[in-house]
Amino acid sequence: MAPFGKIYSYPGNVRVQRIQAVAALSGLEVVMDPDFVMRETNRTPEFLAKFPLGKVPAFEGADGFCMAEGQAICRYIADSGNNSAQLLGADARTRAKVEEWACFAEQEITAHIIPPMLMTMFKFIPFDEARFNQCAADLERALKRVDVALQQGQKFLMGGDKITLADVMVAGVLLLAGKFLMDREMREKAAPNVERYLKGLMEIPEMKGAFGEIELCESRLKA
């Protein structure tokens, strides 16, 4: 069967890993465009005609449907597959809570890990200690929120015994944060349940297939 669609992005993008996890959990094949070159392909008139912001990930369905924004792509794929009630929820309130976690992942976690990542991992911007410390504090606050949802030994953010889109969105970005910012001290202080949670999720073959080996740093990367 033809793939459901393709993704334009550079390799190793966490937003793409989440899309790949959702696609696998949905029984859909989503492939990477093999010819994509960052800052070249996404600046061509053809690409901008389909994705006017010129950012990745961008999704093009086999039927020609085009869209951007990683969070929305995940939702569309989850909604299009054979597991949508489990991943997105079967009633309005459950769907709203799943969406709440997806928004939380982007605005309360991703937004606070990107500046430190650009300062330390990639060195794209100068190290700014005050901003770095503020981002670490904001991440810690978000982690405490995640921990509250996991305190009774829950395996999944929505409770229950099945993974949902909430887990893919939140855990996906925490797996990235764990590589360089969410260090042992932060994990133990703010979120003692998070390590167990992430390790449990990585036992799910679709998660492991998309994210690979879990790496949780001892000390945060600084300048």
Ligand X SMILES: N[C@@H](CCC(=O)N[C@@H](CS)C(=O)NCC(=O)O)C(=O)O
Task: Mention every residue, 6+ apart, whose C-beta is less than 8 A from residue 203.
Answer: none
Rounded least distance, CB 88 to ligand X, Å = 18
Give the nearer residue to ligand X in terms of CB position, either 113 or 186: 113
**175, 211 Cβ separation under 8 angstroms:** yes
Residue (of 105, 93, 92, 124) closest to 165 by Cα position: 105
Return the residues of window 135-164 that contact ligand X according to CB under 6 A. none
Q: Is the dihedral of CA 150, 82, 12, 122 positive or negative?
A: negative
Q: Structure tokens of 143?
A: 């982690």
Rounded least distance, CB 6 to ligand X, Å = 16
Rounded least distance, CB 210 to ligand X, Å = 16
Rounded least distance, CB 97 to ligand X, Å = 21
User: What is the crossing angle of helices 165-180 and 70-80, to 10°?
Assistant: 140
Give the nearer residue to ligand X in terms of CB position, either 105 or 198: 105
Give the nearer residue to ligand X in terms of CB position, either 74 or 163: 74
Q: Assess whether the previous peptide bond of 57 is cis (omega < 30° from 0).
A: yes
Q: Is 187 in the site for ligand X (CB under 6 A)?
A: no
Give the nearer residue to ligand X in terms of CB position, either 13 or 84: 13
User: What is the crossing angle of helices 92-104 and 70-80, to 10°?
Assistant: 150
Which residue sits closest to ligand X, CB atoms considered? 55
Binding mask 57-96 for ligand X (x = CB under 6 A): x-----------xxx-------------------------
Give the nearer residue to ligand X in terms of CB position, either 69 or 138: 69
Task: Mention every residue, 6+ apart, whose C-beta is less than 8 A from residue 200.
Answer: 155
Rounded least distance, CB 154 to ligand X, Å = 27
Return the residues of window 5-64 that contact ligand X according to CB under 6 A. 13, 15, 54-57
Residues in the interface with ligand X (CB under 6 A) total 9
Q: What is the biggest distance separating any 2 CA atoms in the chain, rounded to whole angstroms?
A: 52
Give the nearer residue to ligand X in terms of CB position, either 15 or 112: 15
Q: Is the dihedral of CA 217, 139, 77, 196 positive or negative?
A: positive
Rounded least distance, CB 72 to ligand X, Å = 8
Which residues contact ligand X (rule: CB under 6 A)? Answer: 13, 15, 54-57, 69-71
